[in-house]
Amino acid sequence: MTDKTVAIVYNTCGIQGDNTKWYIECLRGFLDQDLEKCRVVWSSCRNSTECVKEIYSTFGNRISYCLTPETHTVNVTFNNAVKKTVEHFGEFEGYMYVDSGCTVDSQTDIVGRTLETLRNTSAGIVIVQTDTDECFENLGEHYLYESPHIQVRGEDLVVPIGVSVNQHAALFSNEIHREYEKLYPDVFAAFCSESVLNYIAASVGLRWVIMADRQIRHLKAVDGPSSGFQHRVSAEGKDGKVIQKNGWNNFLCGRNALDFINDVEAKKSGLGYEECNNIMHHNSEAYAEDGTCHDPSQLARTIKRYLFLTEEELDYTGIKCKFIA
């Protein structure tokens, strides 16, 4: 059992330009949290030397830095920042992914509240609501899309198996890190990774939960969406024909989504993928009525095989980066 609470990883990308003043505002809000034994980590991908110098001169050793000059997806840079953080500080109860567009403003208790939700529910991942780009219409008529209002109220909402929403700030349980030694599935070149997060949580016997009654501000695409990578490619569709602008079969290292979509054992394990677009619906028999997975270990094996890159495909120890604790 670790005595450290949350590693807050704020993720930025400078490929399309730096937003240094905004980053400082956001980092300051996370640094001002009233939660003890947490650590703020700035995960920077290709931000300029000038940006790095200004942020370091502002915060010094009050935060940690994972500075990556190479082009990688945010899934990869986030995973790597968590790896470096754990190597230096040891394990935390949870690891908070924060999109570069998210600021907590004056809510100094927001991370602590998120940790309480992780501790007190069946959550493996806890989503913090944002005021834009939530895609909550997938949850049904009661929830709106891009509403400035807090939409989940009263009780934390367990996201139903087979449903996905957008996730801009979320706390991952250490149970997921222990199972995979990573947190975000890293085969994706751009879109669709959120469609499997429900299954990531289910594979360790936990759920994907939206925290009620609180919300943070989110500026959409501050650093550009999936900068450095094609959003859609020419790739094989489910009927065998090539789709010219395929967003769901756009994987790194030559991976093909059809490999798991057509795998009987993957279907049996309970995996679903991009169900909102009818790509791969999960096997409902793999789950109990309350949405828990009957065989989490089988689902985890499927996820390790298909949704995380192997060491041969991407050796994280070979990623060029500088970690300043």
DSSP letters, 208-230, are EEEEEEEEEEE-TTTT-TTTTS-
Residue 186 is classified by DSSP as -
Residues 247 and 194 in one domain: no
Residues 220 and 270 in one domain: no
d(CA 265, CA 248): 21
Q: How far is CA 151 from CA 67, 107, 127, 217, in A?
A: 35, 18, 13, 14
For residue 228, the model assigns a pLDDT of 76
Mean pLDDT of the chain: 95
For residue 40, the model assigns a pLDDT of 98
Residues 203 and 254 in one domain: no
Residues 95 and 205 in one domain: yes
d(CA 272, CA 282): 4
Phi, psi of 8 (to 5 degrees): -95, 110
Lowest mean pLDDT among 13-17, 40-44, 221-225: 221-225
In a domain, 50, yes or no: yes
Structure token digits, residue 62: 């009050």
First-residue to last-residue Cα distance in the chain: 22
Structure token digits, residue 301: 């094996």
Residues 273 and 295 in one domain: yes
Give the tens place of pLDDT for each residue, 260-292.
999 999 999 999 999 999 999 999 999 999 999
Q: Are 244 and 234 spatial neighbours (Cβ–Cβ below 8 Å)?
A: yes
Which domain range does residue 304 map to? 233-310
Give the tens place of pLDDT for each residue, 111-168.
999 999 999 999 999 999 999 999 999 998 878 877 789 999 999 999 999 999 999 9
For residue 95, the model assigns a pLDDT of 98
Give the tens place of pLDDT for each residue, 162-190.
999 999 999 999 999 999 999 999 999 99
Give the tens place of pLDDT for each residue, 295-309.
999 999 999 999 999
The rounded percent of the chain whose pLDDT value lies above 90 is 88
d(CA 258, CA 251): 11
Q: What is the pLDDT averaged over residues 193-217?
A: 98
In a domain, 1, yes or no: no
Residues 22 and 131 in one domain: yes
Q: Are 211 and 156 spatial neighbours (Cβ–Cβ below 8 Å)?
A: yes
For residue 143, the model assigns a pLDDT of 84
Residues 190 and 239 in one domain: no
Task: Give 163: exposed, middle or buried? Use CB within 10 Å, 0-12, 13-18, 19+.
Answer: middle
Residues 271 and 205 in one domain: no
Q: What is the pLDDT averaged over residues 187-214?
A: 97
Residue 89's CATH number: 3.90.550.10
Structure token digits, residue 292: 């828990």
* DSSP states along 70-135: S---HHHHHHHHHHHHHHHH---SEEEEE-TTEE-TT-TTHHHHHHHHHHHSSEEEEEEEESS---
Q: Are 10 and 23 spatial neighbours (Cβ–Cβ below 8 Å)?
A: yes
Lowest mean pLDDT among 17-21, 34-38, 230-234, 307-311: 230-234
> Helix H segments across 184-295?
197-202, 258-261, 264-269
Whole-structure pTM value: 0.96
Residues 20 and 147 in one domain: yes
- Indicate the pLDDT class of residue 55, thresholds 50, 70 and 90: very high
Q: Are 210 and 129 spatial neighbours (Cβ–Cβ below 8 Å)?
A: yes
In a domain, 160, yes or no: yes
For residue 1, the model assigns a pLDDT of 67
Q: Are 160 and 222 spatial neighbours (Cβ–Cβ below 8 Å)?
A: no
Cβ within 8 Å of residue 309, ≥6 positions away: 186, 187, 252, 253, 255
Residues 131 and 82 in one domain: yes
Helix, strand, coil % over all residues of the chain, rounded to 5: 30, 20, 45
d(CA 150, CA 148): 7
pLDDT at residue 87 tops 70: yes
